[in-house]
A and B are shown apart, each in its own frame.
Chain A
Amino acid sequence: MDALRACVGEVSVSEFRGATRVVVPAATVHDALELLKEKHGFDLLIDVTCVDYLNYPDAKDRFGLVYLLVGTDTNLRLTVRAFVNDPDPTVRSVVDLWEGANWLEREVWDMFGIKFAGHPDLRRILMPHEFTVFPLRKDYPLQGMGERHNFPVLTRGES
C-alpha cells in the first residue's frame, strides 16, 4: 500500500468481508495498475466494470470504475476503484497492460459511456452501432425508450 501511495498519491483502503479495496484517483489508474502488475504480482485482470452512483445514498461521484485483480502466484485478490464524473468521463485504457481488458473496456463504454483514452478499438460491442444512449446508466429506463418496437412489420402477403 505504501508503494502504491508513493506512486499515485492519495489512496484510501477499506476492507469488507475479507476483500481489500483501494480507491485511487482516476488520473492515475493506469499507473497504479501497472505498479500492481509489475511489482506486486497481480497479473490476472478478472474484470473491468462500472457502477453508476446516480441515486446511491451518500454518493459524491457519478461513476465508479472497478478493476478486479488476482495474483496467480499469491492467490490474493484486490479491487481497485476509481471515480469519474460527467460531463466527460475518461480514464486511461489498460489494454497495453492486459490484452484481456480490450473487450471489457468496450463493454463499459457501450453500457456506461465512459471513454478509455488510448483504447485501440473503442466501438459499441453489445448494442447496435446506431444506438445513441448508454443503457446501464440509471437515468435510462428498464423498458427502454421504444427502440425495441422500431422495426418494419412483415406480413404474410409481403414475405
Chain B
Amino acid sequence: MAVADLMDQVATTKLDELVSWCRKNSLWPMPFATACCGIELMATGASRHDIARFGSEVFRFSPRQCDLMIVAGRVVMKMLPVLQRIWQQMPEPKWCISMGACASTGGVFDTYCVVQGIDRFIPVDMYVPGCPPRPEQLIQAVVDLQAKIQREGTIFGREFAVASRQQTKRALQEV
C-alpha cells in the first residue's frame, strides 16, 4: 500500500491529544449537590436540557468512578471535610467545577459557618457564576472544560504538576 493511500485511511495525532480527546468526551460527573444549585443540576440532567448531548450524562454517586466533580451549592464547616475526602477519593485525572456563587465565593452567605469559596481548600478548574446558574451556563462550563482538557491535557497528567496549580488561587487570607 502506498503511503499516499495510507494517509486517506488513518489520522495522525499526538498521543496526548488522542488521550485528551477521549477523556474530554467521556466526563463522568460526580454531583456534589448540596443546595439550590443541585436542583438546576438535576434539571440539566433531565429531559429538557439533556447534558447527554455533551457526553457527560453518566452521573455517578461513587467518587471512585468519576473524574469531574460538580460542587453545586454552599459548603459549610461540617461539610468541608466530607468534600475534601470525596475529592481525595476520586481517581486521577480529575477536574472540579464550582457551580454557583455560593460554592465559588460564599455568595450571600457571609456567615459564621459557610466556607467562603471552596477554592480556598480544594483546587477548582471552572467557576460558574449565577445564583443559581441556568442549565445552559452549566453546559457551557462543561464545554469550556472540555476545551481546556483538549488544550492542555497530557497522558500522564503533567499539567497538574505545574507550580501555579499547586497554590490555592485565593491569596487573600482573612485575619
- Residue in chain B with minimal CB distance to A158: B88
Of the residues B81, B112, B116, contact of A141 by C-beta under 8 Å: B112
Say what secondary structure dominates the interface of chain B: loop
| Min CB gap A110→B, angstroms | 12
**Interface-central residue, A144, A148, A157, by most chain B CB under 10 Å:** A148
Of the residues B115, B121, B161, B173, contact of A157 by C-beta under 8 Å: B161
Q: Which of B46-63 contact A (CB under 8 A)?
A: none
**Chain B residues within 8 Å of A156, by CB:** 123, 160-161, 165-166
- Residue in chain B with minimal CB distance to A135: B112
Mark interface residues in A103-141 (1 if CB within 8 Å of B CB, else 0): 000000000000000000000000110000001000011
**Chain A residues within 8 Å of B113, by CB:** 127, 135, 144, 147-148
| Residues of A in contact, count (CB < 8 Å) | 21
Mark interface residues in A142-154 (1 if CB within 8 Å of B CB, else 0): 1111111101111
Q: In the complex the two chains form, what is the Cα distance from A141 to B111 in whole Å? A: 9
**Chain A residues within 8 Å of B161, by CB:** 156-157
Query: Is A55 in the interface zone, CB < 8 Å from B?
Result: no
Query: Is A155 in the interface zone, CB < 8 Å from B?
Result: yes
Q: Is the CB of A142 within 8 A of B111?
A: yes
- Residue in chain A with minimal CB distance to B94: A159
Q: In the complex the two chains form, what is the Cα distance from A135 to B77 in whole Å? A: 13
Query: Is B84 in the interface zone, CB < 8 Å from A?
Result: yes
| Min CB gap B123→A, angstroms | 5
Residues of B at the A interface (CB closer than 8 Å) are: 77-78, 80-81, 84, 87-88, 94, 110-116, 120-123, 160-161, 165-168, 173-175
Residues of A at the B interface (CB closer than 8 Å) are: 127-128, 135, 140-149, 151-157, 159
